[in-house]
Structure 1
């Protein structure tokens, strides 16, 4: 091996090359410029944790496998917990806090572009006591904690390149006191395996690419159920034992239909993109979030009875948001508009009002001078990521597209979208181009009107002048939207 080749292998700069530069402190997101980082690409996270429920103390070591995409003098991670040590490529590295959530790492040796990176971060903190960007995504419960949130949640339990454009596989292992559970994404590789007196280890593996905000933890006292779907996928559902009996029954009556609902959705969107599925109902008065393979639901999701519309909504995100993730957070309608429209189609499937009836009702519910029409689903603003327009006008956009291009083209577009961008990222311009290609129509003006114009689109005579009757499913759909606006964090 040449000296130059050995230098690349070790990540050492030699010869008259350009000086290494710091990795950027952001991934280039228009809404959140300091989320994510530049200069490297993550392939895998190995997260090993120990949790003490009585004190909410979390100790951990996260190993990150990555590749340098430039010559690096420093690199950043998004992380807010107290850090005890960092190593890069087997050597101790120095590190410092910067800004709200940046951990700036200086390797002992500069890193050459193309070098394989192994970053090991050791930490110890009380996550619920740490506030960043005005919040914490780590919520204590009487028996443990829940870590989940959008657009950020990783900061409070593992260091990461926290932007949807840098997906990776995950191994998550948690040491818990005997009798308590640790639930995460993917499939279990160790299920309550005793490690030493009074403590057992739970381990989970997510083999498919996963955005950092879609990784979650639910730690505490849970009833857990395991099964296998007809296609061989692992099914894991879990319910906090602290739920009141009525809520627990309503939750199980909804979440245990996960496999059935996914089968129905796969018929429209294409094959289910992952090898495990399920759901977790936690003891927090909050809504739901579409964590990859296993959405998390709060108690308010089922406080008034079963709610399969919410389950259909969150499960549709496995295609729209999880497998195909946004390239920019401004394109969040590609997640939420699609999921909310799935709820309309589920209403039709259940005989509670057709998607067309719901679309007409929503359109008629907002007069032309209503402020609702001033908000833009295609560019809602960083502070309005979950505005009603992202859901309702986003869904209206899809239904009017369906009317314009016909059912055959519409569902061909959805299936092509999930197939062509599977496990990747995309933006609205990609969807417009795909819709034009499949339908054979010019659609830029249509999408400009529905997503980016602050006024009520003119439907001409396609909607009757008389106000449409309220669909039977409408109260349920409103409840779904409100709880979907309340991620558990």
Structure 2
């Protein structure tokens, strides 16, 4: 997250739409993903393997989106009904395996409850197609002054523009097909596909852009942006395509930093292991009407608001390893995203000649050592609404630097590389990281992690100034 911040639908609404949901207790299926902080997020009973999202957007009509999404999933239990996350919109039709469903309904703020014509057997692969249109009402949907639009939101955002299992624990491959008026460009995650031209219902020229991300993606990391983008194409030295897209007015402030991306990715790869995706780049949008983050680590191609620069690029691209490739199992584990991405910024400063022992670590500790509020949020399981608290950025970065000095550089960076290797394209938890760090280092780190990740007080001196940091304690004010 931020560096410290279609087509016209055919047919009418089907008669099976009901206004209240079938209670989950009335049939198998219909539960949520069980996140302890967001208990309504996500859905149980199935695992998604692929999203095929098709949307149409006209910047002359900024608060309207046509959608046609097909989801491929596998039932993990016998399903009499199941649900998807979708906020707002009018749903015109739902089909499972190509057949109209028995019923579908809306429930709560963002549930679409679906009763298929026949029970879905456990282990059965199925598709569900949802056609919908209307005004995007979620906070992740942002429109720009020129009519362009982009999506940016965490911890959830996909529900604001397509039906999904909107929880990071259910990752899937992703395909975007976006139709926009001639002269406009749609950008997504992953690699570009074929671009075609056509006409809309009014006979006006359109362009259809296609993007596909073939590595599993957490739904909040799916990118979508429409504007009169200037697009730059290049390649990393290993041939990985790099695509940057700039909204009007953002290119001049950002382009000077674009050339640093290969160096940043090379540096991060040296610390974290091989770059985990088949494309890279960035989307720089010219602000919007929402209150979204200043940047978001949308997979393969982070979204930046206004401009990008080296520290922001380092943070968001570090997320390609920590958050995107290795994704949190639930939102108690936000430190796996933000602690590491923020520390990557410190590592980049060190790479460029800064003494982060003194200029970052000691100064930050000394500045805040007498402020109980600074230490009051736990880094693991910080509490609902605090899963992206500033503590995870600032104190999380301090913790990782202290861990580095506790176990030594060799064990520390070996742990990071082993972590990104072991959990690549999957989900993980903070306790798993603690276990791995202990295994790789051969040290008992229980006291260290209790003091740093599980406490609401400043760590005692032996954990605050470990290893070669101890000499700094004598120099502290």
Aligned to 2:15: none
Give the 3-state SS of the residue equivalent to 2:210 in structure 1: strand
Mean CA deviation greater in 80-89 or 70-79: 80-89
Aligned to 2:47: 41
Give the 3-state SS of the residue equivalent to 1:382 in structure 2: coil
Aligned pair 1:206/2:213, yes or no? yes
Aligned pair 1:28/2:30, yes or no? no
C-alpha contact 2:271 2:417 (8 A) present in aligned 1: yes
Q: Distance in 2 between matches of 1:320 and 1:311?
A: 14
Residue deviations 1:107-166, cap 9 Å, x none? 111111011111000011121xx24xxxx2101112321112111110111100111111
Aligned to 1:158: 162
Aligned to 1:342: 344
Q: CA deviation at 1:328?
A: 1.4
Q: Distance in 1 between matches of 2:327 and 2:428?
A: 6
Q: CA deviation at 1:259?
A: 2.0
Q: Distance in 2 between matches of 1:161 and 1:432?
A: 29
Q: CA deviation at 1:314?
A: 0.5
Q: Distance in 2 between matches of 1:379 and 1:39?
A: 25
What TM-score results when the alignment is normalised by the length of structure 2?
A: 0.88
Aligned to 2:5: none
Counting matched residue pairs gives: 434
- Structure 2 counterparts to residues 412-427 of structure 1, below 5 A: 412-427=414-429
Aligned to 1:11: none
Aligned to 2:194: 190
Of residues 297, 316, 319, the one that matches 1:317 is 319
- Structure 2 counterparts to residues 104-119 of structure 1, below 5 A: 104-119=113-128
Aligned to 2:19: none
Aligned to 1:122: 131
Counterparts in 2 of 1:161 and 1:355: CA distance versus 1, 3 Å: farther
Q: Distance in 2 between matches of 1:404 and 1:353?
A: 18
C-alpha contact 1:41 1:67 (8 A) present in aligned 2: yes
Unaligned runs of 5+ in 2: 1-24
Q: Distance in 2 between matches of 1:372 and 1:255?
A: 35
Q: Distance in 2 between matches of 1:259 and 1:66?
A: 36
Aligned pair 1:264/2:267, yes or no? yes
Q: CA deviation at 1:465?
A: 4.9
- Structure 2 counterparts to residues 67-466 of structure 1, below 5 A: 67-80=74-87, 81-93=89-101, 94-127=103-136, 130-131=137-138, 136-141=139-144, 142-191=146-195, 193-196=196-199, 197-241=204-248, 243=249, 248-284=251-287, 287-299=294-306, 301=307, 307-354=309-356, 357-460=359-462, 462=470, 463-466=472-475
Unaligned runs of 5+ in 1: 1-18, 469-489
C-alpha contact 2:30 2:113 (8 A) present in aligned 1: no
Q: CA deviation at 1:20?
A: 9.7
Q: CA deviation at 1:261?
A: 0.6
Q: CA deviation at 1:322?
A: 0.2
Q: Distance in 2 between matches of 1:22 and 1:445?
A: 44
Counterparts in 2 of 1:182 and 1:438: CA distance versus 1, 3 Å: same
Q: Distance in 1 between matches of 2:331 and 2:197?
A: 41
What TM-score results when the alignment is normalised by the length of structure 1?
A: 0.86
C-alpha contact 1:345 1:355 (8 A) present in aligned 2: no
Q: Distance in 1 between matches of 2:252 and 2:304?
A: 14
Q: CA deviation at 1:392?
A: 1.1
